[in-house]
Structure 1
Amino acid sequence: MEVKHDIAKSFFTKNPERLEWYRQQCYQVLPNYVKDLNNLLMRLFNQHGGLHVVQPMGGCEWDDETEEVKGFAQFGYDGEDFLEWDLKTLTWIAFRPEAVIPKLLLDANKAIGKEFKFALTQIFPEQLKKFVDYGRSFLLRTELPSVSLLQKTPSSPVSCHATGFYPHRASLIWRKDGEELHEEVDHGEILPNHDGTFQMSVDLNLSSVTPEDWTRYDCVFQLSGVKEDIITKLEKDRIRTNEVKPSDMTVLVTAAVVVLALILIGAAGFIVYKKKKAISPPSYPDNSTELSERVNPET
């Protein structure tokens, strides 16, 4: 197992028993469930070989204001939701017909149910609270994003893109006359950046918007824990695009044609030169003395 983050490395250096618990889960406890479940699933799906993936995922969410803890455990198979643990009823939820038999088997195994309940209600919340307390200055920080307006072509939607914010509890909306828009708007997912921050975007379809009405629109970014919003007006000059303008395209095409013509002319000249050299007779010396020296070099 490789610990990625500096805070996590520091934490596990001081609490090695925590990392050992994760190792046992990954290499001893879960593999037994996954192996048995995988063999059962291949029979249920009438599969006789090939590569198949059982994906277990478990964790918890903790609200440090209300102290509410929500634990979750799920199984996926070949990239699709398969089973989910219901902490209230202490039973499993089947997401497809093939999951019914594994659900019944897991529900009947009370020992497994107790292990999941203990992990989700005791171990995970305890660890999460220690993680937050240990890395509070980093985990509870706030970073505001840079917001840009992007558009591929004049007929494309305008995308309001925010990147570099933390935490991921944020919203990005389009407004018209101060009211949030729900139609002609396409919200993207919150995605992680390589540096631990996040990015998101929301597109606005301008097909029914006249240029005179652009000033009535703005994009608003809101970050949890920050009172002030970042408001970006829909203005032509603010939109960034990678579209190649017709004039630029003409220059590029003209330059390409000139370069190609020079290459062809050079190639043609070289071919003509080679042909002339091949058919031209050898040159002879102009005077008899030079000719005699070539024929009889010793004299």
Structure 2
Amino acid sequence: MQKPKTFNAIVTATPGKKNFPEFVVTASMDEVEFGYFDSIKREVEPKQDWTRKLYKEKPEVLKLDLQRCLHNQNIFKADMDDFKQRLNKTEGSHILQTITGCEWDDESNEVKGFQQFGFDGEDFISLDMQTETWIAPKTQAVVIKHLWDAAKGRTKYIKDIHTLECPKMLQEYMPYGRSFLQRTELPSVSFLQKTPSSPVCCHATGFYPDRADLFWRKDGEEIHEGVEKGQILPNHDGTFQMSSELNVSLIKHEDWRRYDCVFQLSGLTEDIVSMLDKTQIQTNWVSPSEFPVGPVVGGAAGVVLLLVISGVLYCCWRNRNDFQPVDEETSSEGSKTSQEEISLAENS
């Protein structure tokens, strides 16, 4: 059975932020970003070659996508005003986000729509498409729930967009994106370790699709004790990465070769198996005894030590909240730092 096709858009409104667009949309299909819009440029920017081809051959689709973005910008502005007034937060800068879209099974034709809002970085309110009512997980969201439940025409319109219009969009995009979205890319697999006493991390990156598994074996049998598996995370190029740590502190050196890391990718019959070998482990750790000493090279040693500390490998990433505050300064710096750490882990 094929995996249902998915379309989702992440919409962010941050009015009052200096040098930052008040309204941003990132659109993805099957978890691959294909389009972008913001209130400064006010144009839809294709992010994939197949999207550019679609817009070139069907300019009416580009025009319609632009109209959707401009229309949603106005709706989002009204929603932000509702949130600030009803929550008595008219002062200061606030952030409103939504994750919206649908899942469409082209075999059964079953459609599942979804829309979830976040306010100031926290999950806030979501729509139950079956009952056409709003769910408020937080007490302060109840006032918005009552307001939106009373607007039944608006709720019905939102449901129709997600269950009727959204699948049509997927059907429009799929012929162009199929070859890209149904491709298979194998990962590069490497062993990483912070210090000789740290767990060994098996890191696979650059694979597609995201239907994959990564696990440790001993003597050919999968093991779970002493293993901590990370989540599958997206890379900037549309591929994915994941990692799994093995606690090697109690493993004798002569037994290391009894362990291996196995990567499995949906659709492939052969696994990628990497035997645990100390000589293949990449690390930024340097023994203190290896640092040069003396007044002439002391400064250089200090620089090396600083690089070692700053280059500690963050191998297994933890779960993140669906909604996170957006800040033009911290966001750009955080993204830059994360990319540098990943690059260092892959290239060290």
Q: Does TM-score exceed 0.5, indicating one fold?
A: yes
Which residue of 2 is the match for residue 263 of structure 1?
none
1:217-261: per-residue Cα shift (whole Å, max 9, x none)? 2211111211211111222122111222455324x768605999x
Alpha-carbon distance in structure 1 between the residues aligned to 2:300 and 2:239? 45
CA change 1:68–1:255 in 2 (3 A) is farther
Give the structure with the larger helix fraction. 1
The letter for the 2-side match of 1:84 is S
Q: CA deviation at 1:44?
A: 4.3
Alignment of structure 1 residues 109-148 onto 2, 5 Å: 109-148=151-190
Aligned counterpart for 1:227 among listed residues 257, 269, 273: 269
Alpha-carbon distance in structure 2 between the residues aligned to 1:258 and 1:75? 51
Alpha-carbon distance in structure 1 between the residues aligned to 2:120 and 2:252? 47
Alpha-carbon distance in structure 1 between the residues aligned to 2:144 and 2:85? 11
Q: CA deviation at 1:113?
A: 1.8
Alpha-carbon distance in structure 2 between the residues aligned to 1:221 and 1:258? 43
Please say if 1:14 is aligned against 2:64. no
Ranked by relative contact order (alpha carbons within 8 Å, sequence separation 6 or more), the top structure is 2
Q: How many residues align?
A: 258
Verify the 8 A CA contact 1:44 1:98 in the aligned structure 2.
no
Verify the 8 A CA contact 1:73 1:85 in the aligned structure 2.
yes
1:27-47: per-residue Cα shift (whole Å, max 9, x none)? 22x234323332332244432
Which residue of 2 is the match for residue 256 of structure 1?
297
1:5-39: per-residue Cα shift (whole Å, max 9, x none)? 111011122222322332223222x2343233323
CA change 1:231–1:132 in 2 (3 A) is same
The letter for the 1-side match of 2:62 is L
Verify the 8 A CA contact 1:37 1:102 in the aligned structure 2.
no
Partner of 1:83, secondary structure, is strand
Which residue of 2 is the match for residue 51 of structure 1?
93
Select the structure of larger CA radius of gyration.
1
The letter for the 1-side match of 2:54 is F
The percentage of aligned residue pairs carrying the same residue is 53
Unaligned runs of 5+ in 2: 1-43, 302-348
Aligned counterpart for 2:253 among listed residues 175, 194, 211: 211
CA change 1:153–1:49 in 2 (3 A) is same
Alignment of structure 1 residues 149-160 onto 2, 5 Å: 149-160=191-202
Verify the 8 A CA contact 2:99 2:115 in the aligned structure 1.
yes
Verify the 8 A CA contact 2:51 2:176 in the aligned structure 1.
no
Aligned counterpart for 2:233 among listed residues 173, 180, 191: 191
Report which stretch shifted further, 228-237 or 199-208.
199-208
Aligned counterpart for 1:101 among listed residues 143, 152, 158: 143
The letter for the 2-side match of 1:60 is C
Alpha-carbon distance in structure 1 between the residues aligned to 2:177 and 2:81? 41
Alpha-carbon distance in structure 1 between the residues aligned to 2:240 and 2:64? 30
Which residue of 1 is the match for residue 218 of structure 2?
176
Report which stretch shifted further, 158-167 or 113-122.
113-122
Report which stretch shifted further, 13-22 or 95-104.
13-22
Please say if 1:27 is aligned against 2:70. yes
1:77-125: per-residue Cα shift (whole Å, max 9, x none)? 1111111122222222212111112122222222222222211112111
Please say if 1:242 is aligned against 2:284. yes
Alpha-carbon distance in structure 2 between the residues aligned to 1:75 and 1:203? 34
Verify the 8 A CA contact 1:152 1:242 in the aligned structure 2.
yes
Alpha-carbon distance in structure 1 between the residues aligned to 2:294 and 2:111? 62
CA change 1:116–1:182 in 2 (3 A) is farther
Which residue of 1 is the match for residue 305 of structure 2?
none
Q: CA deviation at 1:70?
A: 2.3
Unaligned runs of 5+ in 1: 261-299
Q: CA deviation at 1:68?
A: 3.5
Verify the 8 A CA contact 2:217 2:260 in the aligned structure 1.
yes
User: TM (normalized to structure 1)?
Assistant: 0.77
Alpha-carbon distance in structure 2 between the residues aligned to 1:99 and 1:231? 49
Alpha-carbon distance in structure 2 between the residues aligned to 1:255 and 1:227? 57
